[in-house]
Amino acid sequence: MENYEQLIRQLVDAAMAGAGKTGAGCGAGTCADGSDIPVGVSNRHLHLSQQDLNVLFGSGYELTAIKDLGQPGQFACKETLTVCGPKGAIEKVRVLGPVRSRTQVEILAGDGFKLGVKAPVRQSGDLTGTPGVTLVGPKGSVVLTEGTIVAQRHIHMTPAEAERYGVRDGDVVSIDFDTERGGVMRNVLIRATDTSALECHVDTEEANAFGVSSKSHFRIIK
């Protein structure tokens, strides 16, 4: 019977988290509830292999960085492409660098309707069985057989940070935004690697639906 009090305390915490009530989560150096984690809002974008970059922009082409992104070594490029599907096209889709081993197109769920492409919600790099699109650049076109996804919302952090938040790489958590249009996003993936910078990535539709910007804060609900 002596464990009841602890059990009840855990259940009260879980119930309050579900109801959007906030506890005092901030200690020395970090907020254990995640309310110190910056939010990054991603619009549609794509990553290119060097092989596809050569076809689209010319042999040996090098990407032109115009803005560093939150994750170390990642940058937005001057270059944009037209993404085409069977039902429509979207112009000026931003290329992110550096080049990767495989080309990956990250669209918004709404883009899928416009393009006529049923892109699944996937983690970056998990492209098996995803649909293709056609990329059109200034020097050529690439017909992809796969590689189009809607990015699963996720939180980048180091393993040390993960320990502080009580999560591990690959965990799936919920996050609670206390905004005017707020609520809880479930199925948020924890991606903990040594080279990560602390940042939660949601896409523009998710940010708009929740009334969230890069200045917003959330709490992690495990």
Question: Per-residue contact track with its own copies, 79 to 118, x per CB under 8 A?
Answer: -----------------------------xxx--------
Residue 158 CB, shortest distance to its own copies, in Å, is: 26
Sign of CA dihedral 8, 10, 13, 16: negative
Query: What Rg do the C-alpha atoms of the chain give, in angstroms?
Result: 20
- The Cα-based distances of 161 to 109, 124, 169, 202, 215 in angstroms read 30, 21, 11, 19, 20
Piece of the chain touching its own copies by CB under 8 A; list 23-31, 141-149, 160-168, 177-185: 177-185
* Helix runs in 22-168, H state only: 50-57, 109-115, 159-165
Among 121, 138, 139, 214, binds its own copies (CB under 8 A): 121
- CA-CA distances (angstroms) from residue 88 to 69, 75, 143? 29, 28, 15
* Out of 1, 24, 28, 143, the residue judged to bind its own copies by CB under 8 A: 1
Give yes or no for residue 172 binding its own copies (CB under 8 A): no
Residue 180 interacting with its own copies (CB under 8 A)? yes
For residue 115, which of 79, 82, 151 has the smallest C-alpha distance?
A: 82
Residues that bind its own copies in the complex, under the rule CB under 8 A: 1, 4, 7-8, 11-12, 14-15, 17-20, 108-110, 121, 153, 174, 180-187, 203-206, 208-211, 221
